Amino acid sequence: QVQLQESGPGLVKPSQTLSLTCTVSGGSISSGSYYWSWIRQPAGKGLEWIGRIYTSGSTNYNPSLKSRVTISVDTSKNQFSLKLSSVTAADTAVYYCASMVHNYILSYFDYWGQGTLVTVSS
C-alpha cells in the first residue's frame, strides 16, 4: 500500500513562495501506475484540487491557480513537490498530497498523506 508524507515550512510570508514535498513509500513513484496530486483545504472549508503530475513530468493544473503553481517530480528520491508563488493569506490551508488513478475514463485519489498546515502571515 502506498503511503505519502508531506513536509515543508508551516509558515510562509506574504508574496513569498510556498514549497512542499511529498515523499512516497510502499511503491515507486516512477512505476507508471499512478499520477500524483496536490489538494488543499482552508480551515472549515472544502477541498480544492491544485494539480497533478505523471512520472514523465507531464503536469496539469487547476486553472484558478495555474499562473502560480509548479509541480515537479524527483524519481531518484521518490518524491514530488509543490511550489506556489506570490502567496497571500487566502493560500493558508492544509495541503495534502495524494496518489491518483487517472486514465481516459477514471480519475480519483486513492491514497492521501496526512496533510500539512501552511499559514501565510508576516
SS3 state of residue 91? helix
- Member of 22, 81, 93, 113 binding another protein (CB under 8 A): 113
- Reduced to 3 states, what is the DSSP secondary structure of residue 89? helix
Residue 121 binds another protein, judged by CB under 8 A: no
Q: What is the largest CA-CA distance in the chain?
A: 44
Identify which of 119, 117, 113 has the alpha carbon closest to the alpha carbon of residue 38: 113
Cell numbers at 37, concatenated: 496530486
Q: Tell me which of 93, 109, 118, 120 binds another protein, using CB under 8 A.
A: 109
Check binding of 107 to another protein (CB under 8 A): yes
Nearer to another protein, 30 or 49 (CB): 49
Q: Output 62 or 75, the one with its CB closest to another protein.
A: 62
10 is a contact residue toward another protein (CB under 8 A): no
**HSE-up of 69 (CA within 13 Å, CB side)?**
21
The answer to whether the beta carbons of residues 81 and 9 sit under 8 Å apart is no
Q: Please identify, using beta-carbon distances, which residue of 108 and 122 lies nearer to another protein.
A: 108
Q: Which chain residues interact with another protein by CB under 8 A?
A: 37, 46-49, 52, 60, 62-63, 96, 101-102, 105-110, 112-115
